Amino acid sequence: MSFTPGIFTNSQGTWQDRLDLVTETSKALSATEDPREMVAVFGERVGDAFPRDGSLTLTRRGLPEGKFRITRFSEWEDPADPWVNPEKFPLLDSGVLKDWLFSNEPQVIDDFDCPEDDPAYAYLHGKRSFMLLPGFDEGIAKNLTVMMGIEPNMFSSELLPEVVWTSNLFGRAVHHLRLGEALKEAHRQIDHDMQVVSGIQLSLLPNGLPEIPHLDLAVYYQAAEKAGGDYYDFFDLGDGKWGLLIADVSGHGPAAAVLMAITHSIAHTDLADKDHPGEFLNYLNQRLIMGYTGISKTFVTAIYGVFDTNTLKFEYSCAGHDAPRIVRDGCCNIEIPDTTQNLPLGIKKEEKYGVADVQLAPNDVLTVFTDGMFEARNLKGENYGLDRFQEVLEQPAESPQHRLDAVLADLAQFCDGAPQDDDRTMLVTWVK
């Protein structure tokens, strides 16, 4: 469709002509989400309706007080993108263009001859009439479009209200698309960073399962986001003893992942007494409070146990964490030993962590886990629950992996596609 030039400004343009122009322009604008393409479409189509001999655009967005840039000029050939390379555009702080921009007022100037000593002379020279269209944001003109004519009296003040209204609606649309672009880029960068964090975090977890005499192991770990706050580890203590640790940082996501990494670092220092569960948690607690959780007000639940392959005894200490679950050989009932009744790590400096122990026997199954396993919710908001979790643990199984798979299958069936809202970790140990 072609339009008669100037249909908004002379008698050749009927209401149907104007409606056709607005309709076709609106359709074209709605077909793109690229703000640069929108500017080109708007300038091409609407420009035909308003005869002019040139135009330029100014902005003071993001600049120091009193300064502004010329971002578009109709006589430039192949200019840079003002949104990508703003520093390549003229930066001014005086002259008639500054007066027009900072006046915050739309105007029609019928006859003006720019003085040669004005910073805008190179842009306004040879033009006599001007229509000033401010683009408002936060109550002031952040941008200004200047339509220019060679002859005096080219623009009608009667059109000014309609043109200002239209240009500002268009400007807001472009601004919102620009914000959307920036938001997408920020999300892309965050997603990339989280991928890196996730990779680092996974590298802190054990690379496979250790070969421990008299134990068959299976483990599951899944963060709710790309990185999480759950943590499990194994320590070869020598003399047939192995340390088993599971911890759960409060919350999930990047902040929890950082504290998880810190906990891992502290746990692997030579000063940590990993042979004695209570002393080990005392050490973790002191270090976390002195350097980290005292400021962040976060905490870590944990269970740390030492398994003696010589005696099959499991000695452990809990820090605000659920006790392990034990299914004895030939018995389908869950046994829940003492939790040692201690606060999570990182809350109270004076907390002293107690120790309990349980004697295991061949074919006993001991399971430790984080609360994300049983606090999962389905699409109705219903909680999976500790009772159902334990019922699956009590079912006969051929191996620790089989038992783990049964829990995960039942959990998936219950959740029915509901998004995971907490980190999940589960370690199944089968005494041989």
Token match 């840079």: residue? Answer: 80
Residue 426's SS3 state is strand
Residue 346 clears pLDDT 80, i.e. is over it: yes
So what's the pLDDT on residue 411? 96
CA 227/CA 246 separation, integer angstroms: 16
Kindly indicate the confidence band of residue 51, based on its pLDDT and cuts at 50, 70 and 90.
Answer: confident
Of 342, 396, 406, 345, the C-alpha closest to 373 is 406
Counting beta carbons within 10 angstroms of the beta carbon of residue 126, is it exposed (0 to 12), middle (13 to 18) or buried (19 or more)?
exposed
Percent helix, strand, coil in the chain (nearest 5)? 35, 25, 40
Bridge-partner residues for 54, per DSSP?
148
**Exposed e or buried b per residue across 49-58, where buried means at least 16 C-beta atoms within 10 angstroms of its C-beta:** bbbbebbbbb
**403 Cβ contact list (under 8 Å, min separation 6):** 218, 365, 367, 393, 395, 397, 428
Domains of the chain: residue spans and CATH = 52-180 (3.30.450.40), 194-431 (3.60.40.10)
So what's the pLDDT on residue 46? 62
Residue 159 clears pLDDT 80, i.e. is over it: yes
So what's the pLDDT on residue 188? 85
Which of residues 53 and 32 earns the better pLDDT score?
53
So what's the pLDDT on residue 13? 61
Kindly indicate the confidence band of residue 1, based on its pLDDT and cuts at 50, 70 and 90.
Answer: very low
pLDDT tens digit string along 118-147? 999 999 999 999 999 999 999 999 999 999
Whether 324 and 299 have beta carbons less than 8 Å apart is answered as: no
φ and ψ of 249, to 5 deg: -75, 140
Kindly indicate the confidence band of residue 20, based on its pLDDT and cuts at 50, 70 and 90.
Answer: confident
So what's the pLDDT on residue 201? 79
**What does DSSP assign to residue 20?**
H
**20 Cβ contact list (under 8 Å, min separation 6):** 1, 3
- Amino acid identity at 418: A
Bridge-partner residues for 280, per DSSP?
none
Quickly list H helices, 78-212. Answer: 96-102, 121-124, 160-204
So what's the pLDDT on residue 30? 82
Alpha-carbon distances, residue 184 vs 35, 177, 297, 330, 361 (angstroms): 14, 10, 32, 57, 56
Work out the mean pLDDT of the chain and round it to a whole number: 89
pLDDT tens digit string along 273-332? 999 999 999 999 999 999 888 777 889 999 999 999 999 999 999 999 999 999 998 677
Residue 204 clears pLDDT 90, i.e. is over it: no
So what's the pLDDT on residue 5? 42
pLDDT tens digit string along 354-368? 999 999 999 999 999
Residue 4 clears pLDDT 60, i.e. is over it: no
Alpha carbon 421 to its chain's center: 15
Q: 97-106, 187-196, 373-382: which has the minimum mean pLDDT?
A: 187-196
Task: Let me know the angle formed at the C-alpha of 104 by 151 and 109, rounded to the nearest 5 degrees.
Answer: 15
Give Dmax over CA atoms of the chain in angstroms.
103
pLDDT tens digit string along 302-313? 999 999 999 999
- CB atoms inside a 10 Å sphere around CB 408: 16
So what's the pLDDT on residue 330? 65
pLDDT tens digit string along 214-261? 999 999 999 988 878 899 999 999 999 999 999 999 877 788 888 999
The tokens of 88 are what? 């390549």
